[in-house]
Amino acid sequence: MEGRTLVYYGVSDLVLVFILFPILLMVVGGFMPETELRSNPGERLWFVHGPTTAYYQYILLSPFGFGFPSNDPYVTEAGFPFLSILNVQYFLPSLLNSVVVAAAVAVLNLLLASLAAFAFTRTNFRGRTGLFIFVLVSRLLPPVVLAIPYFILIQSLGLLNNLGAVILIDTVLTLPFSIWYLVLYLRTIPVEMEEASLVDGASLMQTFWHITLRISGSGLLAITLFSFLLSYNEFLFARFLLGRPEFTTVPVYVGSLATSLVVYWAIIHAVLALTILPMAVLVLFFKKYINITELAGAIKR
C-alpha cells in the first residue's frame, strides 16, 4: 500500500508541475528585461540586472500617460514604434469588459439554472424528461456550428458591437451544463425540509427561495464559478461579434498580441499574468465556501 501511495503522490506531483510550470514561467517572464528573456540558454543568466516592474507599470499606467521605459536595451535595438502594434492602452478596458461579461453570465446562470433545476427535481409536469434531454443534447453541439446562425440573429437584433450579445450567447452556451449539474446536486439533497415547508403553508417559490437555495450553496457556487470562468475565456463569439477595440474582451486582446508582426515577449508575459488574476482571486475567495465532498457526490450519483 505504501508503494502505491508513493506512486500516486509522485504522479500527482508531476502533473501539478506540468500544469503550474508554464504559469510560473509566465509570471516570472513579466519581471525579466526583454533582452534577458530573449537570450539563448547558456548565453546569459536571467535577472543579471535584477527584476523589473517596468512592463507591468507600462501596461497598467499607459492609459494615464506613463511612457515605455527608455532604458530597455531591446527598444534601442528593435526600435520603439512597433510597440503601438500591441495596443497596450486597450488592455484595461478589455479586462473590464471580460469581467463584466463573465459576472453577468454567472448571475444569469445562478438564477436560471437554479429555477430550472428546482422545476426538474421538485415538480412533476408533462414533458419533463423530454425537456431535460433536450437541454442536455443542446450542449452537445460544437459552438462553431452555431456561429453563423447566431451572427445573423445578433445582427438582425442590432446587437453587434454590444457586450449584451456576448452575454446572451455565453449564457446559452453555459446554461445546459449548469442545469444538468444542479439537477444532479439537488437529487442528493433530501426533500423532507422542503415538504415540511410546504405543509406549514409556504408557497412553492417561498420554499425555493428560503429552503432550497440555502441548502444547496456548494452546488450554486460551483455553477457560478464554472460559468464565470468559461465565459471569461470565451473567444469565438467575442471575436466576431465585438469588432470595435473598445468592446474587445481579454481572450481577443491576447489573440491580437499573438498575431502581431513583432512579438514583445516581456509585455505579453505580463499581460497574461494580469489576465489570470481575476480568475485566481475569484477561485481563492470562493474555495472555502465549497464542499468538495458534496460536489463529488453529486457527480457520482
Instruction: Give pLDDT tens digits along the chain (301 positions).
Output: 577 788 888 888 899 889 888 888 888 888 887 777 777 766 666 666 667 787 888 888 777 766 665 555 555 444 444 455 467 778 888 999 999 999 999 999 999 999 999 889 888 888 888 888 888 888 888 888 888 888 898 989 888 889 999 999 999 999 999 999 888 888 887 777 777 877 878 887 888 887 888 888 888 888 998 999 999 999 989 988 887 878 889 999 888 877 666 677 888 888 889 998 888 888 888 777 666 555 554 445 4
Let me know whether 186 and 96 are in one domain: yes
Q: Output the pLDDT for position 186.
A: 85
Q: Output the pLDDT for position 81.
A: 46
Domain span at 239? 90-300
Let me know whether 127 and 23 are in one domain: no
What's the domain count of the chain?
A: 2
Domain end, chosen from 47, 66, 88, is at 88
Let me know whether 25 and 84 are in one domain: yes
Let me know whether 8 and 151 are in one domain: no
Q: Output the pLDDT for position 70.
A: 56
Q: Measured on CA atoms in the order 280, 284, 285, 289, is the torsion positive or negative?
A: positive
Q: Output the pLDDT for position 99.
A: 93
Instruction: Give how far Cα 43 sits from Cα of 36, 39, 143, Å.
Output: 9, 6, 46
Query: What is the DSSP code string of 19-51?
Result: HHHHHHHHHHHTTS-HHHHTPPTTTS-TTTT--
Q: Output the pLDDT for position 80.
A: 46
Let me know whether 67 and 101 are in one domain: no
Let me know whether 53 and 154 are in one domain: no
Domain end, chosen from 88, 123, 147, is at 88
Let me know whether 157 and 249 are in one domain: yes
Let me know whether 48 and 106 are in one domain: no
Domain end, chosen from 62, 88, 114, is at 88
Q: Output the pLDDT for position 85.
A: 44
Interatomic CA distance for residues 266 and 25, integer angstroms? 11
Let me know whether 110 and 60 are in one domain: no
Q: At what angle do helices 163-187 and 217-232 cross, to 10 degrees?
A: 150
Q: What does the CA dihedral 282, 288, 289, 292 come to, rounded to 10 degrees?
A: 110
C-alpha cell of residue 9: 503522490
Interatomic CA distance for residues 255 and 236, integer angstroms? 11
Give the CATH number of the domain where residue 102 resides. 1.10.3720.10
What are the helix and strand counts (H, E) for the chain?
16, 0
Let me know whether 65 and 100 are in one domain: no
Cβ atoms of 188 and 178 closer than 8 Å:
no
Interatomic CA distance for residues 121 and 127, integer angstroms? 13
Q: Output the pLDDT for position 68.
A: 64
User: Taking the model in full, what pTM does it have?
Assistant: 0.83
Instruction: Give how far Cα 196 sits from Cα of 72, 131, 199, 201, 263, Å.
Output: 70, 28, 5, 9, 64
54 three-class SS: helix
